[in-house]
Every structure is written in structure tokens, then in C-alpha cells.
């Protein structure tokens, strides 16, 4: 399954709402999606699993949603530490696959 993330780059200011899209080439069961955050020179960090469950220590400004072929990661109010690269992953079909990423940059 190919995951297409959009936009490629999202330019926003701290305090603004970020909406990141992940579209699958085939339907994925809604709970078989995860989201990761990656900062420069670091490994990806799990944010959301099972489509909408937050990983340990992840603040509630991060929310995952979606179903079928369209999934969304929403950051309600951007904090300075949220400017990073974000990936979605599907694990409903083997092998699991990742999107190409959305970069959230400071406007």
C-alpha cells in the first residue's frame, strides 16, 4: 500500500493549528495507522498508534483520526518543539509502509 502525505511542507506559526494528511492507495482499517515525529539527526518517535491512541508522554494537542484511505494528524496549537518531520505508517497490509513525510516549518 502506497501512502501519500500532503502537503510536502507546511509553513505555520507557533500557536496555529496544523493538519497533516495521509492518503492510502487502498483502504486501510482505521486502527492500523501510526504517526511518527522525526527531528533532524534523530530517530522517529512514535506519536499515535491504532489511528488515534497517543503514545506515552505525547501531549494531547496531537490527535489522529481518519478511516478508509484518508487519515489525518492534527496538532491543535503548534509549540516550538513541534516543528519537525512527520510520517504516517500503515500496518494493515504486509509489508507495512510509510509515507514520504510532511515537514512542518516555522513561517
Length of the chain: 107
Q: Which of 21, 69, 97, 103 binds another protein (CB under 8 A)?
A: 97
Among 21, 61, 63, 91, the residue binding another protein under the rule CB under 8 A is 91
Residue 84 and residue 78 in contact, taking contact as beta carbons nearer than 8 Å = no
Among positions 30, 65, 72, 98, the unique one binding another protein when judged by CB under 8 A: 98
Contacts with another protein by CB under 8 A: the residue count is: 23
Number of H helices, E strands in the chain: 0, 10
CA–CA distance, 90 with 80 (Å, rounded to integer)? 28
Angle at 55 between CA 91 and CA 24, to 5 degrees: 30
The residues in 7-66 that bind another protein, with binding defined as CB under 8 A, are 31-32, 34, 36, 42-46, 49-50, 55
**107 CA to centre of own chain:** 19
Closest distance between another protein and the C-beta of residue 9, in Å?
Answer: 13
Q: Which residue ranges make up the site for another protein (CB under 8 A)?
A: 31-32, 34, 36, 42-46, 49-50, 55, 87, 89, 91, 94-101
Amino acid at each position: 500500500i502506497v501512502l501519500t502525505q500532503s502537503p510536502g511542507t507546511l509553513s505555520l506559526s507557533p500557536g496555529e493549528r496544523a493538519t497533516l494528511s495521509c492518503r492510502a492507495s487502498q483502504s486501510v482499517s482505521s486502527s492500523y495507522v501510526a504517526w511518527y515525529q522525526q527531528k533532524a539527526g534523530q530517530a522517529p518517535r512514535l506519536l499515535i498508534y491504532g489511528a488515534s491512541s497517543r503514545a506515552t508522554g505525547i501531549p494531547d494537542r496531537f490527535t489522529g483520526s481518519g478511516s478508509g484511505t484518508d487519515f489525518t494528524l492534527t496538532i491543535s496549537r503548534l509549540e516550538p518543539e513541534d516543528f519537525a518531520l512527520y510520517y504516517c505508517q500503515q500496518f494493515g497490509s504486509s509489508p507495512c509502509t510509510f509515507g514520504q513525510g510532511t515537514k512542518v516549518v516555522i513561517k
